[in-house]
Structure 1
Amino acid sequence: MHVTGTAPQPAPAPSEDLTVAVGDPHGPTGGADAPGTTSKHDRGFGLPVATALVMGNIIGGGIFTLPASIAPYGTVSLVAFGVLTVAAIALALVFGRLAARDPRTGGPYVYAREAFGDFAGFLAAWSYWITGWVSNAALAVAAVGYLDVLIPVGGHHWSACLAALTLLWLPAVANFAGTRYVGAVQLVSTVLKFVPLLLVAVGGLFFFDPSRLGPFNSSGHGPVGAVSASAALLLFSYLGVESAAVSAGEVRDARRNVGRASVIGTTGAALVYLLGTLSVFGTVPHDRLVHSTAPFSDAVNAMFGGGWGGTAVALAAVISMTGCLNGWTLLSAQTPYAAAQDGLFPATFARRRRGVPTFGVAVTVVLSSLLTAYNYLSGSAKVFEVLVLVTTFTATVPYLLATAAQLFHLISGDGASVNRARLVRDAVVTAVAAGFSLWLMAGAGYAAVYQGTLFLFAGVLVYAVMAARRRRRHG
């Protein structure tokens, strides 16, 4: 997910009826659908939809400006892309292994709580929830910039704000309609946005001219420094690898499909990133690319001539972000739902209808809307950008807790791999994933880590209240 355009999308599942939360021993609480029953609105996600959820949530709109962002570093940035891709796939493998152990809705929250207790689980849920609703606001604001190319909406603060709120609430409506419709929107939007991306990623290879690539390293640093510097811009592009794990309770045969969807989705997103960036590098001259504000538009215009590239890319970006908002709206409600079932979040977050935690969706979209309105009406864009950067830190807290949980299981031997070779392999993968999580956290910057820690400490107060209520209720 890349919030500047984050973070940052499914068809109706096959016809067999399943319980609302496959693999979730708690089952649904509240809502219209009784436990152990299902309706046409809440059938589980299959592998294609779960994969689309991962890919759609990883690829937001940032890809449409990413080649220009890293062009000043030269083609050495492609090496950074490769390194980060390996690390992101390692994290996806860890989520797959953890979901095979415990395929319940909640992802990192479930894994952290099982390994380390209620407090660690709460921190994972709290951090992920903050990431969800703030990032959704950022996505909506970024989408308005692309929408303005198609329909003039940015001339006044009120019209831009209304457009952003519409982009927030349309995916929320799909979520309220049930997981079946969430899945349909996610799969369709993922397919639609990949058409222009693949057009550039694959078609651009036929127009590729090595002379346009520019220098290998134009950063002014040594090779290692250049890779690290460019990686700082790329780190956040892989937020979303946990998407299938967070919605594991809605994934059919989650013990197998969560891991597959996580790896396939992350790998697919990486291929689009790498091929798209390489094609843009090879079709747009380097001296022009470093100053480009719409590199994919420039690439399309260079490939086919004409000035329609900007419109095509803007349409693809709006579709991309709408699908990303659809997926992240669901994810931002799933973790509080799981925590509420265990008494770590207010019980109202456990309300569920048609397979969707409706109260969590409502709270998420309301908070995102308030932050979006504040951004437009107060003119506090700088404050908004700081909050978005803070969410990069809050997103890595659940990642690090999840990899720590996997490390705990491997060392303790609790559910460890059946043979030594597999144990060593899993340990290496987990170490790479942990390194990626720490690197991601460092990339957020000192200010974001400091302010993100304040968000976590605010959560500690909420945890104290919930823990006291549970003790009084059960004491």
Structure 2
Amino acid sequence: MTTQETQSRHARQFGLPVATALVMGNIIGGGIFLLPASVAPFGTISLLAFAVLTVGAIALALVFGRLAQRLPRTGGPYVYAREAFGDFAGFLAAWSYWITTWVSNAALAVAAVGYLDVLIPLHGDKAATIAAALALQWLPALANLAGTRYVGAVQLVSTVLKFAPLLLVAVGGLFFFDPANLGPLQADDHSAMGAVSASAAILLFSYLGVESAAVSAGEVRDPRRNVGRATVLGTLGAALIYLLGTLSVFGTVPHDRLVASTAPFTDSVNAMFGGAWGGTAVAVAALVSMVGALNGWTLLSAQTPYAAAQDGLFPKAFARRTRGVPTVGVLVTVVLASSLTVYNYTAGSQGVFEMLVLVTTFTATVPYLLSTAAQIYFLASGRADRVHRGRLVRDGLLAALAAAFSLWLVAGSGYQAVYQGVLFLFAGVLVYALLAARKQARREDTADVADVVELPEQAVREDARA
């Protein structure tokens, strides 16, 4: 069997179902299992914040769909920012997104160990805990290294498995819904606007991942058509699960109990069906959910550096692909995430780890803002090859709404996260300076070689004329 045949056997483009599963799986990680209890103290008005955020997330999803129609290439926000504003903006998008992915992977693995402990008690054994966290990162990485065919299969199966129990609560809970459980409309110590804003600050990051299909556009079949559809369908599916799930938990668990709950979905299942098996069921669902998210985010963590490396804006090694997957990007990402995980457990630096995770909430918004700005630029430039006049007003409104949503994400991340995130960006500026210098040196070397080749040819032409 030839190398090309082996590559094609393991590398397969994603169809619409798998691309949609990638978006949904990356948006919904493990946070949904704690969200109802997190926003319960603000009252049922927090559901309004969820609805407002859903509108913003869908607007952002539609903008990514439009951008993918214009530039259907792997890299997503990096490609859009570079096309609109040049190399430096593209690098910032790639750098910020890369930081977001590998730090988030470490956080997901640590959170997943907490659910694994329910199924397989680790009894506080530090070595066993570290080994479990590393296994939860490396298994999805191995699926990625096996090829895009296996990435898509794992993503589709994990998405189906994790949505079955979530739908059970989201839909089944409506049949056990008791309005008496809802509690107050808003907390006594907050105004209506204050309660919405405070709960929104917690919920803002629930929709990170809407860009998943756009980042992997090069691996999606017919990307001009399917990336936009997968992005919108995946975001709508995640929003439906979020809203119905939170509403069902609010209506099945008494408010005073929900405020103090550490496992709201478990309490909801137990309230609906009785018994104490809800904890095990929710732990399994959460574990599957996080493994699926790790699988998808591992792929995304390599895609943006891959696109940037092709343009000389990331180290050249990141541009290598095997079986459709940027293998170096996957390996570097999982090594960095694993190192951060081990550091977190061995140094006991919980505060440092939480700070780094909080920084990702800011770094994730940088590619969003650059992408929406790129869309506004394309629309305002009025170039006939990029703007369909009949859709100009609609696309402009969507871009403005998506930009406002992205700015809200920045504001919600907090001053400390913005401060630390800017430091990460400045570190990236230094990396960009080194890469840009090397790129310029290669250009000059190429120009010198061309001049050396041209001089003898010019001399021959002059001799001939003489």
TM-score, normalization by structure 2: 0.93
Q: CA deviation at 1:38?
A: 5.2
CA contact under 8 A between 1:67 and 1:277: conserved in structure 2?
yes
Task: Give CA deviations for 1:31-64 in whole Å, capped at 9, x if unaligned.
Answer: x965x99512111000000000000000000100
Change (3 A) 1:204 1:114: same
Please state if 1:246 is matched with 2:215. yes
Structure 2 residue 160 is the aligned partner of structure 1 residue 194: no
Match among 75, 78, 99 for residue 109 of structure 1: 78
Q: C-alpha root-mean-square deviation of aligned residues, in Å?
A: 1.2
- Work out which of the residue numbers 453, 464, 470 in structure 1 matches 2:422: 453
Name the counterpart of 2:463. Answer: none
| 1:226 Cα offset (Å) | 1.1
Give the aligned residue type for 1:425. Answer: R
Give CA-to-partner distance per residue, 1:141-165, whole Å, 9 cap, x none. 0000000000012512221111000
Q: Sequence identity of aligned pairs in percent?
A: 78
1:86 aligns with 2:55: yes
State how far apart, in whole Å, the 1-side matches of 2:350 and 2:420 are. Answer: 17
Task: Provide the residue aligned with 2:395 in structure 1.
Answer: 426
Measured in 2, the distance between the counterparts of 1:162 and 1:136 equals: 15
* Bigger mean CA offset, 210-219 vs 228-237: 210-219
1:23 maps to what in 2? none
Q: Is the 8 A contact 2:62 2:398 kept in 1?
A: yes
Measure the CA separation in 2 of the matches of 1:342 and 1:232: 37
Higher mean displacement: 211-220 or 376-385: 211-220
1:234 has 2:203 as partner: yes
**Rounded Cα–Cα distance in structure 1 between residues aligned with 2:375 and 2:331:** 32
Aligned residues of 1:33 and 1:353 also touching (Cα < 8 A): no
Q: Tell me the SS of whatever aligns to 1:39.
A: helix
Higher-Rg member (1/2): 2
Structure 1 alignment gaps of length 5 or more? 1-31
1:290 to 243, 248, 259: 259
Q: Which residue of 2 aligns with 1:28?
A: none
- Contact persistence 2:104–2:360 (CA under 8 A): yes
- For 2:8, the equivalent position in structure 1 comes to 39
Query: Which residue is equivalent to 2:229?
Result: 260
Q: 1:223 corresponds to which residue?
A: 192
Show the 5 A alignment for 1:380-399: 380-399=349-368
Query: Aligned with 2:410: secondary structure?
Result: helix
After TM superposition, the structure 1 stretch with the greater mean CA deviation from structure 2, 229-238 or 211-220, is 211-220
Following TM superposition, by how much is the alpha carbon of 1:418 offset from its aligned partner in structure 2, in angstroms?
2.5
Shift of 1:352: 0.2
Structure 2: state its 5+ residue gaps: 445-466
Partners of 1:41 and 1:180 within 8 A in 2: yes
What whole-Å deviation, never above 9, does each CA across 1:192-211 have from its counterpart, x for those lacking one? 00010000000000000111
Where does residue 328 of structure 2 map in the other structure?
359
- Equivalent-residue separation in structure 1 for 2:254 and 2:6 (angstroms): 58
Aligned mate of 1:341, from 310, 317, 320: 310
Distance 1:66 1:434 in 2: 25
Structure 2 Cα separation of the partners of residues 383 and 446 of structure 1: 16
- Residues of 1 paired with 2:101 and 2:3: CA distance? 26
Task: Please tell me whether residue 176 in structure 1 is matched to residue 142 in structure 2.
Answer: no
State the distance in 2 between where 1:273 and 1:107 align: 25
For the Cα contact (< 8 Å) 1:131–1:391, is it kept in 2? yes
Contact 1:72/1:219 (<8 A) preserved: no
Give CA deviations for 1:441-464 in whole Å, capped at 9, x if unaligned.
111110110110000000111101
Is contact 1:144-1:153 (8 Å) kept? Answer: no
CA drift at 1:416:
4.4
Residues of 2 paired with 1:188 and 1:217: CA distance? 39
Q: Distance in 1 between matches of 2:123 and 2:420?
A: 31
Determine if contact 1:158/1:377 at 8 Å carries over to the other structure. Answer: no
Q: 1:243 is matched by which residue type in structure 2?
A: S
Determine if contact 1:212/1:282 at 8 Å carries over to the other structure: yes
**Deviation of 1:291 (Å):** 0.4
**Amino acid in the other structure paired with 1:351:** R
| Distance change >3 Å, CA 219–CA 403, structure 1 → 2 | farther
8 Å contact kept, 1:175–1:181: yes
Residues of 1 paired with 2:284 and 2:6: CA distance? Answer: 40
Pairwise mapping of residues 44-59 of structure 1 onto structure 2 (< 5 A)? 44-59=13-28
Q: Which residue pairs with 1:407 in the alignment?
A: 376
**Is the CA contact 2:70–2:386 (under 8 Å) kept in the aligned structure 1?**
no
Are 1:128 and 2:128 counterparts? no
Runs of 4+ in structure 1 deviating by more than 3 angstroms, as ranges, are none
2-structure distance, mates of 1:194, 1:410 = 38
Aligned in 2, Cα 1:423/1:326: closer, same or farther, shift over 3 Å? same
Do the aligned residues in 1 keep the contact of 2:213 with 2:231 (CA within 8 Å)?
A: yes
- Map Cα deviations across residues 61-94 of structure 1 (whole Å, 9 max, x no partner): 0100110000001110000000000000000000
* 3-state SS of paired residue (1:40): helix
Residue 176 (structure 2) pairs with residue 211 (structure 1): no
User: What SS is found at the alignment partner of 1:218?
Assistant: coil
Per the normalisation by structure 1, the TM-score is 0.92
**Which string of whole-angstrom CA distances, capped at 9 and with x for unpartnered residues, describes residues 76-120 of structure 1?**
000000000000000000000000001000000000000000000
